[in-house]
Amino acid sequence: MNAKARQLDLLNRTVRDIDNDLNVSFEFFPPNSPAMETTLWGSIERLAPLNPSFVSVTYGAGSGTRDRTHGVIKRIQKDTGLIAAPHLTCIDAGREELIDIAKDYWESGVRHIVALRGDLPNDSKKPDMYANDLVELLKGVADFDISVAAYPETHPEAPNAQFDLVNLKRKVDAGANRAITQFFFDMDSYLRFRDRCVAVGIDVEIVPGILPVSNFATLKRFADMTNVHVPDWMGKMYEGLDDDPTTRNMVGANIAMEQVKILRSEGVNDFHFYTLNRSELTYAICHTLGVRP
């Protein structure tokens, strides 16, 4: 069977062929308005019964946003019982402040952190710390469960793919427990990346980041900023749907389910969903794939 026929065969597999032992996790971001806060907590309440491995909460640069992230994390732990994992970056805080933040999280019952370098401001000089330094710092504070970022199609700032891979290995060698990938739509890019990780001795789970797409124009903007290839066939699937959000959601859910089906057939068990604080698509995808309360 040639590669194209094999892919078509995988795409045509029925949902019942997917085992129901998938492990899922979800990403949210802290709200900055009352309306967004209502949406966020409604989404968390909707997705919590699916028993995710953890839920992560992002934040941008600045202590104000970080405080909002911490507030969301504490409420998730208190009200839902889920394992909550705050994002933490090292470009806007010194080592002592980061140690204090880590201690505060540990004392608050937080055991899982997503450790990132963070986006550099436009006028920024070379940063004092990178993600591998942050992982090492966190492990020096306590035995956190640490996730880091990975880029199947190479980080936009990396000079080449090998440099990026070596950087990931530094993070794993510093103590990271898993890597969560940037979203992607080219299955081969993830599978080749996973093979290259094994070849250089990266032995942690490379969890694929899945982005259910409801707005193709927004996706294109994200993709252009993050060096993610959007296949031509995706654009064609969203043609003529600018004023039809219901059909766009169906298309987005179908694409995400096909991604999970293909990757599951390649031995992937863990999936991280970028929810964009909305539960509808992610819940529908998980339900169809057998992840249910």
Is 205 noted as a catalytic residue in this protein?
no
117 and 89 in contact (C-beta within 8 Å)? yes
Closest CA to 79 of 37, 114, 48, 121: 48
Q: Which of 27, 157, 258, 280 is catalytic?
A: 27
Residues in the chain: 293
Question: Which amino acid, one-letter code, is at 112?
Answer: H
Question: Which amino acid, one-letter code, is at 56?
Answer: S
- As a whole number of angstroms, the distance between CA 63 and CA 153 comes to 31
Closest CA to 7 of 259, 274, 226, 223: 259
Closest CA to 110 of 65, 149, 63, 71: 71
- As a whole number of angstroms, the distance between CA 170 and CA 173 comes to 5
What are residue 270's DSSP bridge partners? 23
Q: Known catalytic residues? A: 27
